[in-house]
Amino acid sequence: MKGLVKMEIENMSPVLLQFYLKNDTISQSDFAELNNYMKKETRLKKVCDLSKVKCRASDGRYYIYINRQQIIAPTYPQLLDKLTDFYFGPDTLSLKDILADWMIWRRDTTKVKNKTLKDNLLLWNSLYRDTEIVMKPISQLTTKDFTIFFRILTKNGTLTRKKFNDGKSILNSMFAYAIEVDIAESNPIVSVNFRSFNYRPENHTIKTYSLDERKVLLDYMKDMDDIYSLAIQFNFRIVARIGELKALRWDDIEGNNIRIQRQIIEEQTMNDDLTFNPRDYRVVEYAKGHTSDGFRDMPLTPQAKAILEKVKALNLSGEYIFMVDKTPLMTETYNRHLIKYCETLNIKYKSSHKLRFCVASALYAEGVPATKIQKLLGHSTLAMTLHYLRDVTPENDCYDSMVQVLDC
């Protein structure tokens, strides 16, 4: 029995050891197979009482009853094979069981972004984790099961159609994986009548910072001289994306303009245990959407220039204009600073991306043509720009404008 650890022998059932033991020795060829069955036996002991296995005297076959169902095999190792299929085979796997394998499959075989993987995992936890539908064997799931589940999920309009569809996409992708690896034969979700569910109305109104809120924030930060507050002040005077702002270099400045020609992308790679590594950044020499429209010159106002002078005193030799300890700004930290300022001033926080909405809308309110704003934003289509243009002026100003224009 050379090579077998004493503890492994003690944990092994005598019947398994006896099957491979010949003349008090185990052949080299049998040892690997025995080791494999030892692992199966150990795994099965967690879900099955193997002490109930019997050997039939009439023909020497081994059997056990599981929920009144007899499972029988010519040998004990073959019985272990059948029990492994019974408890852990493809027909027993649930959506919860394949979650990790599906995530890794997407990461390794598709072009999915790590941010999408993280968002999918958060949505899974929000909608599906520990629900009956994801713990039932995939082979037993039917269209009726999902119809009932989705109706409960959308009861009283608790979900918007978008969030529901995002969650449904996760399940559709999991079934695509299950079909590919022969766990499922088809996807029962495709036959569900989704028009029968009750969705919460979408709120298409995009709340942005008003001109008054912008002024209050800028007045509050005007005497601050840390990099993050200066970056926020600067971004309230241009219309750059946060990734573009972080990637700006001193040599991008030419006279009264600053050139937008790269962006910094933050990434968190996913590990096999579905945890995510700390954020890292990557510099790419292209604009969002990979279109030439993203490369553009941004005019610098006198106040924007004044902010850059303050930054120079803190970071003249840095590779990028806005850096802390020789590291580009992190979006999450940038947002934390903005949240803190908003809370202090009793202003409802809107994401850093809403600074772009605010500046674009302010320019539009002052009569700058939408086509010019399109170029400043770096949009490839005017329709995309119009999505950004929100009225940030008070309602009474709108009323006065209507009277002036329509009642003249």
What is the b/e burial string over 183-201, where b = at least 16 CB atoms within 10 angstroms of the residue's CB?
bbeebbbeebeeeebebee
**pLDDT recorded at residue 4:** 46
* pLDDT at residue 188 tops 50: yes
**pLDDT recorded at residue 89:** 76
**What value does the mean pLDDT take over residues 41-70?**
90
- 3-state secondary structure at position 263: strand
**pLDDT recorded at residue 2:** 45
**What value does the mean pLDDT take over residues 107-129?**
94
Rounded distance, CA 271 to CA 83, Å? 31
For residue range 125-164, list pLDDT tens digits in order.
999 999 999 999 999 999 999 999 999 999 888 899 999 9
Element containing residue 281 per DSSP (H, E): strand 280-284
Give me 287's structure tokens.
């604009």
pLDDT class of 119 with cuts at 50, 70, 90: very high
**pLDDT recorded at residue 150:** 96
**What value does the mean pLDDT take over residues 205-212?**
80
**pLDDT recorded at residue 5:** 42
Give me 107's structure tokens.
């990461």
Instruction: Give me the DSSP letters along 162-186.
Output: HHHHHHHHHHHHHHHHHHHTTS-SS
For residue range 235-268, list pLDDT tens digits in order.
999 889 999 999 999 999 999 999 999 999 888 8
Find residue 263's DSSP bridge partners: 284
* pLDDT at residue 174 tops 60: yes
Between the alpha carbon of residue 273 and those of residues 98, 118, 148, 180, 397, the distances in Å are 13, 13, 31, 22, 55
**pLDDT recorded at residue 281:** 87
Between the alpha carbon of residue 275 and those of residues 105, 280, 281, 300, the distances in Å are 15, 15, 18, 42
The answer to whether the beta carbons of residues 138 and 93 sit under 8 Å apart is yes
The residue among 316, 162, 294 whose CA lies nearest residue 227 is 316
For residue range 79-100, list pLDDT tens digits in order.
998 888 887 777 888 999 999 9
**pLDDT recorded at residue 205:** 65
Position with higher pLDDT, 146 vs 16: 146
Rounded distance, CA 324 to CA 318, Å? 9
Instruction: Give me the DSSP letters along 55-73.
Output: E-TTT--EEEEETTEEEEE
pLDDT class of 1 with cuts at 50, 70, 90: very low
Rounded distance, CA 198 to CA 89, Å? 37
Give me 299's structure tokens.
């005019």
The answer to whether the beta carbons of residues 250 and 321 sit under 8 Å apart is yes
